[in-house]
Amino acid sequence: MDFVPLVQVGKEHYDFENYCKKDSWLNFWYQIKTVLSYQPQRVLEIGPGTGVVTDILKKNGIEVVTLDIDESLSPDVVASVHDIPFSAKSFDLVLCCEVLEHLPYKFFIKSLKEIYRVTRGSAVLGLPNASGVLLVNIKIPLLHKLVFFRKIPFFWKTHRFNGEHYWETGKKGHSLDRTKKDIESVGFSVKKMKIPYDDAAHVLFVLERGGVL
């Protein structure tokens, strides 16, 4: 039997007090900055959530089409990431952040293939990253800020479905190396894999299309 993705949280989950915490704004900022650096004309945003990223991209002159399984969020298209109802190479860039961990990992490759199929160039993929953090942040007047940052993955910890996330990078069986190899297996080239020191709970992959799937 095929897996049928279900809405895991209500619309109120995305209310300002619940969802738009400081860490979330940093995550939004990295997504927006990365997308804008590619200067795309047409973007597919999978999982628009609060709509903050959508609105800012639109205000920067980008045509954004949103896709989500939750009709209450008023996406442009109600559909799942592993069955995207658009023809091949319909978008300059696909943005998919904090989405794929909400599906069992066996659908990761299938979803990546769909993202690969509908982008004509790039994709920005955001995933949760579970690990300990060692951070030293020093600000000296008249000098640049000095940051020493290291993440220690929870490679010994097995993730258990918590009602939202089926898996997370950094945990047992889901190393960043494995994730990167799975991404590359569908034809993407990983141009960047970034864990920001000020948003250490997430990893951002910047992908570019290559070859023919």
Question: Measured on CA atoms in the order 160, 132, 53, 61, is the torsion positive or negative?
Answer: negative
Can you tell me the distance from the alpha carbon of 112 to that of 101, in angstroms, rounded to the nearest whole number? Answer: 12
Name residue 38's amino acid. Y
Domain-by-domain residue ranges, the chain? 11-130+157-208
Q: In three state form, how does the secondary structure of 158-174 look? A: CCCCCCCCCCCECCCCC
Q: How far is CA 105 from the centre of its chain?
A: 15
Could you please state the CATH topology (level 3) that the domain comprising 11-130+157-208 is classified under: Rossmann fold (3.40.50)
The Cβ of residue 125 has, within 10 Å, a number of other Cβ atoms equal to 25
Can you tell me the distance from the alpha carbon of 45 to that of 76, in angstroms, rounded to the nearest whole number? Answer: 10
**Would you write out the chain's pLDDT as a tens digit for each of its 213 residues?**
467 777 766 766 556 556 556 677 889 999 999 999 999 999 999 999 889 999 999 999 999 999 999 999 999 999 999 999 999 999 999 999 999 999 999 999 999 999 999 999 999 999 999 988 777 778 877 777 777 768 788 888 999 998 999 999 999 999 999 999 999 999 999 999 999 888 888 999 999 997 443
pLDDT value at residue 16 = 55
pLDDT value at residue 13 = 57
Q: Structure pTM? A: 0.85
